[in-house]
Amino acid sequence: MDAVRDGRALLALAHPGSNPRWFNLKPNIGLRWVLIGFSLDRFSMPQTSSIRLPERPRPPSTDGAQGASTLRYGLGMKRIGLLGGMSWESTALYYKYINEAVRNRLGGLHSADLIVVSVDFAVVEKMQASGQWDEAGEYLAERARTLEQGKADAVVLCTNTMHKVAPQLEKSLTIPLIHVGDATARAVLAQGIHTVGLLGTRFTMEQNFYRRRLEDHGLTVLVPEDSARDDVHRIIYEELCQGIVRESSRKRYLEIVQDLVASGAQGTILGCTEIEMLLDPDDTPELSTPCFSTTRLHALAAVDIALDAD
């Protein structure tokens, strides 16, 4: 106890005006003194103006084919908000593709400035199945606002189907929503293609919200016949969204794409963010026409905005 009193006295001398009762010193086995249970406002802390943080080196300027803007100390990079979880299998791909693209463009240890809100897809899928699109829009708009509150500069809705409620999200935000249909259409047209096949959920293939967005860019959109649409939709929900990838399903998708090509499609849009798990656009030697991954194209559009590329 004498040692405790001596310790308190020493601390009181070191911090004039402090009350020794605020210091609770206990010896441990190694006879070292541990300071616990004290109030920080009893200490006279140094003024922040007297603390100088070391300056971090600035990365080199970047320019060239990628069109990235000059970044200094990471401050030139915009923050992208990802609204994902629909399903999380494809949201993981968005995260991967965006970070890979930032690293490729800037080099070194650069990665993207991202904030992610991931929703419960079971909740969203129930609303889809029951036609509660307004409710689904409100549900996602509320979560999109969370991204804006997190200082995101733009929002990426990591799903094709839920772009049906994109207008509701846009109305609820004061920052841009990067539309997957616009990013995809620009990439298709850049390859000189004007007639495309479209694979996706039944909602995406059959309803106007997605096809019309593509048509507004001047594209002609073809969809599979009815039984093929059933297969495409079923495989997405029963397999891909649950992380299941079957060779038999891949073969079925290839058959459907080939039928679209026979009907005049010059290329095929993989209009569901999970389809790339089944058909890799870079590894489909069976196809004579290109496939367009909306997941990759959407992710790259986000990187262009984050880095202010033209």
By 3-state DSSP, what share of the chain in percent is helix, strand and coil, each rounded to 5?
Answer: 50, 15, 40
- Identified catalytic residue from 158, 161, 204, 272: 272
Please tell me whether the peptide bond between 87 and the residue prior to it is cis, using omega within 30 degrees of 0: yes
Residue 272 is a catalytic residue: yes
Report the relative pairing of strands 33-36 and 24-27 from DSSP bridges.
antiparallel
Which residues make beta-bridge pairs with 82? 116, 156
Distance CA 247, CA 268 (A): 19
Report the relative pairing of strands 177-178 and 154-157 from DSSP bridges.
parallel
Distance CA 138, CA 299 (A): 24
Distance CA 196, CA 188 (A): 8
Q: Name every residue whose Cβ is closer than 8 Å to that of residue 39 and which is 6 or more positions away in sequence.
A: 22
Closest CA to 261 of 284, 289, 233, 227: 289
Residue 291 is a catalytic residue: no
123: left (phi over 0), alpha (psi -120 to 50) or beta: alpha
Dig out the tokens for 60 from the structure: 């080199």
- Identified catalytic residue from 159, 268, 284, 294: 159
Closest CA to 273 of 250, 247, 241, 305: 241
Listing DSSP states for 75-104 in one string gives TTSPPEEEEE-TTHHHHHHHHHHHHHHHHH
Which residues are the active-site residues?
Answer: 159, 272
